Amino acid sequence: MSEDAGALSTGKPNEKGRPDSDSVHPLVRKSAEWSWRLLLILAAVLAVAYLAQRLSTVTIPLSIALLGAALLAPLVDLMQRLGVPRSIGVFVALMGSLGLLAGVMTFVVEQFVTGVPQLSDEFKTSVHQVQDWLINGPLHMSNEQIRNAGDTIVKTIENNQDTLTSGALTTATVIGEFLTGTFLTLFILIFFLYGGDQIWAFITNIIPSAQREKVRTAGKLGFGTLTGFVRATVMVAAVDAIGIGAGLAILNVPLALPLASLVFIGAFIPIIGSFIAGSVAVFIALMTKGLVTALIVLGITVAIMQLEGHVLQPLLLGRAVRIHPLAVVLAITAGVVLAGIAGGLLAVPFVAVLNTAIRSLLADSPDELYQDLHTGDPHQPMFSAEPDDDPDPARYQVPVPAAASGKVTEVGSTAAARKYVTDGKPAATGGTEPEDAAATPPVAGDAGDDED
């Protein structure tokens, strides 16, 4: 064992008088220091995620109430500025929202229950048509195999038709959890609307006084981002649902209104949600009305998505809320893995709020962040997916050491940082090759070699 290793094992200074920390390579020591800090952060994040998942009966209603507060708080604030007491404003906003939601949901459920038998009949007809085409068409497949497969699909639809219409609502556990979550969401939402600022001020009292005001400002800016996200998403979802639903109704596709409701909900999951909801509409149109109708529905869906992505979102969301597409997809995937559908719905607003809050904490002043969020072209997001600008072809090349023969060798990873080396000694760095390489003075090592 070496002297340094022995000193390190005993915890005492070695005989050379160096401290024990110098016995470890600096890279290893720094890596170890970063590793245990990152492990602690990861453990804390995992602990919070585990608790949130275990307490999903509380965390999901809390998150939905926060989204509801972001949607209704501007209306309550407006009524208060007009002289309406805040308690009455909260009551009016809640009752109006609940009445509208209950009316829409009742109509959607009624249309769904009425339309399922028609969908079932048309779906069975389509299955029989596909059977005949596979048997009598150009493929000439086996009659017995096709008939058995088709009969199995039809029997499955007939046996599960009642389950589709009423079976999902007969489980006492599901009804109990739904009612519990609904009442808890309303209870939290009332207090968020009535005294949300006081609640946030009370929570932030645990922050040291030196940083307390900065944290409170970050929370307010984050909630402002959430407000913009929810308001714009509701408007975009309404346009998507009306456009696609109207197209389905004109084409006489079954379950047009329930499918429009699915599109409205799917719009709250950017990129992925609209695609899935549109795919369901195209599939139902294909199975009930044929290929031509399905292609028309596909065209309507693509046109609505283009309108959403290039007109509505830049106009309504603005710079602060629009996030890089990679962050959106990763956030949705992680949310679905951790908390299912609810996690997918809540992932993007969570990332949007976190993005604004962290930027506020890192900014030198709130005014600096405000100018960054609210100035510039609203059609340009803060973090957009843009191609690299004229990349240097040599940026991935490994620098070649200078040859001992005095040959000029080009090294460096970028054009701006290229240097020409002669006899192991850097020469002129002006970006051009030296005119006279022999004029470069020899290095000390070379002189020593000549003397030897």
What local confidence, expressed as pLDDT, does residue 329 receive?
80
Query: Which tokens in the block code for residue 279?
Result: 């795919």
What is the DSSP code (8-state) at residue 206? Answer: G
What local confidence, expressed as pLDDT, does residue 194 receive?
92
| 7: confidence class by pLDDT, cuts 50, 70, 90 | very low
State how far the Cα of 372 lies from the Cα of 356, in Å rounded to an integer.
Answer: 11
> Cβ distance 315 to 278 under 8 Å?
no
Calculate the alpha carbon distances from 172 to 58, 144, 247 in Å.
19, 43, 37
Query: Which tokens in the block code for residue 48?
Result: 């919070």
> Please, is 280 exposed, middle or buried when counting C-beta atoms within 10 Å of its C-beta (0-12, 13-18, 19+)?
middle
Residue 378, C-beta contacts closer than 8 angstroms, at least 6 positions apart: 314, 315, 318, 319
What is the DSSP code (8-state) at residue 385? Answer: -
State how far the Cα of 148 lies from the Cα of 255, in Å rounded to an integer.
Answer: 28
More confident residue, 247 or 344: 247
> Cβ distance 428 to 440 under 8 Å?
no
Could you read off the pLDDT of 342-378 as tens digits, one per residue?
A: 787 888 888 888 888 888 888 776 656 655 555 455 4
Read off the pLDDT of each residue in 323-342 and give the average, rounded to a whole number: 79
Within 13 Å and on the Cβ side, how many CA atoms surround 224?
16
Q: What is the DSSP string of 169-181?
A: G--HHHHHHHHHH
Any idea what the Cα angle at residue 192 is, between residues 189 and 197, rounded to 5°?
Answer: 175
> Cβ distance 154 to 124 under 8 Å?
yes
Three-state SS for 268? coil
CB atoms within 10 A of CB 388: 7
Read off the pLDDT of each residue in 42-65 and give the average, rounded to a whole number: 87
Residue 359, C-beta contacts closer than 8 angstroms, at least 6 positions apart: 369, 372
Instruction: Return the minimum-mean-pLDDT range out of 133-137, 205-209, 292-296, 334-338.
Output: 133-137
> Cβ distance 381 to 232 under 8 Å?
no
Read off the pLDDT of each residue in 178-189 and give the average, rounded to a whole number: 88
Could you read off the pLDDT of 231-243 as tens digits, one per residue?
A: 888 888 888 888 8
User: What angle do the packed helices 56-81 and 26-54 form, to 10 degrees?
Assistant: 80
What local confidence, expressed as pLDDT, does residue 199 receive?
92
More confident residue, 14 or 227: 227
Could you read off the pLDDT of 31-53 as tens digits, one per residue?
A: 888 999 999 999 998 898 888 88
Could you read off the pLDDT of 68-83 as tens digits, one per residue?
A: 999 999 999 999 999 9
Read off the pLDDT of each residue in 135-146 and give the average, rounded to a whole number: 66
| 20: confidence class by pLDDT, cuts 50, 70, 90 | low
Chain-centroid distance of CA 191 in Å reads 28
> Cβ distance 329 to 269 under 8 Å?
no
State how far the Cα of 229 lies from the Cα of 411, in Å rounded to an integer.
Answer: 49
Instruction: Return the minimum-mean-pLDDT range out of 156-170, 309-323, 325-339, 386-400.
Output: 156-170
Q: pTM for this structure?
A: 0.64
Residue 384, C-beta contacts closer than 8 angstroms, at least 6 positions apart: 322, 324
Q: Which amino acid is present at 443?
A: V
State how far the Cα of 376 lies from the Cα of 369, in Å rounded to an integer.
Answer: 13
State how far the Cα of 63 lies from the Cα of 52, in Å rounded to an integer.
Answer: 11
State how far the Cα of 450 lies from the Cα of 444, in Å rounded to an integer.
Answer: 10
pLDDT greater than 60 at residue 267: yes
pLDDT greater than 90 at residue 91: yes
Q: Which residue has the tokens 């005492």?
A: 12
pLDDT greater than 50 at residue 299: yes
Residue 402's φ and ψ, nearest 5 degrees, are -70, 140
Q: Which of these, 411, 413, 402, lies nearest to 437 by C-alpha position? A: 402
| 418: confidence class by pLDDT, cuts 50, 70, 90 | very low
> Cβ distance 251 to 293 under 8 Å?
yes
pLDDT greater than 50 at residue 446: no
Query: Which tokens in the block code for residue 224?
Result: 């402002």
More confident residue, 40 or 426: 40
Three-state SS for 283? helix
More confident residue, 154 or 350: 350
What is the DSSP code (8-state) at residue 162? Answer: H
Could you read off the pLDDT of 185-204 as tens digits, one per residue?
A: 999 999 999 988 899 999 99
> Cβ distance 422 to 435 under 8 Å?
no
- The percentage of the chain sitting over the pLDDT mark of 70, rounded to a whole number, equals 61
